Structure 1
């Protein structure tokens, strides 16, 4: 039996105190720069666990419970509901057309070098937050990055 993706995900804006933002380029869409994103593994997985897991999987940065960065992973208490891009609809159960994305921020001490999984992402870069927002393919990702100054205080 095929395991469909759960249409509930996290978006984690990884940033420095100076508001530089880490962007990673998708392996399956070369022009798509984004923050860390990923779906829940189960309906009952806490969103903070999803966020920490995705950050570790996609960047190698440990912000899970008990890590030095655990307190820096912050649930912004915001969510976006958006239409799933047609190219990725086949990952979801028939009839699922929208995803709910929960926003998190992760403040790291400086511009860390991520460890990418080449099956998921092929490149990375740090940019000042306004430039990072402009570089994102996803409007909801860009909007989240532009909110960074009010959440990074």
Structure 2
């Protein structure tokens, strides 16, 4: 069986309500590591919007239907160094990932169903408080930029 490596291209999906409450989820293998939805492309030709929708559903059970629940592409990409603890998932020599930022506005009472192998808890927080809680600098920056991107 040949080991397949993760593709060093991913999405970040900020989930928020109209009043800028943000959903954060805690990583199962890393207690205290809070984040928005993230995930890598499954194939090099997978469209970014499809990746964002897939990861949103896999990690939270929230389905983007394109109407009531519509993903917003920020047309923003971040390149960052992959944490050494996770580099074994990528091909030898791969040290950086390109992350594409999306957001989705949802009703505050939307049901959230976590993928238990990936996340253990979730919390809704005001966007500034959520930014302080994120372990990822690019995720925190996206949360700080949320009002500007939304024009609020």
Tell me the TM-score normalized by structure 1.
0.95
* Per-residue Cα deviation, 1:22-70 (whole angstroms, up to 9, x for no partner): 00000010010000000000000000000000000000000055x641x
Aligned to 2:62: 61
How far apart in 2 are the matches of 1:64 and 1:122?
Answer: 25
Tell me the TM-score normalized by structure 2.
0.95
Unaligned runs of 5+ in 2: none
* Other structure's SS at 1:112 match: coil
Aligned to 2:41: 40
Runs of 4+, deviation exceeding 3 Å: none
Unaligned runs of 5+ in 1: none
How far apart in 2 are the matches of 1:122 and 1:143?
Answer: 23
Question: Does the Cα contact within 8 Å between 1:22 and 1:35 map onto a contact in 2?
Answer: yes
Aligned to 2:5: 4
How far apart in 2 are the matches of 1:20 and 1:104?
Answer: 16
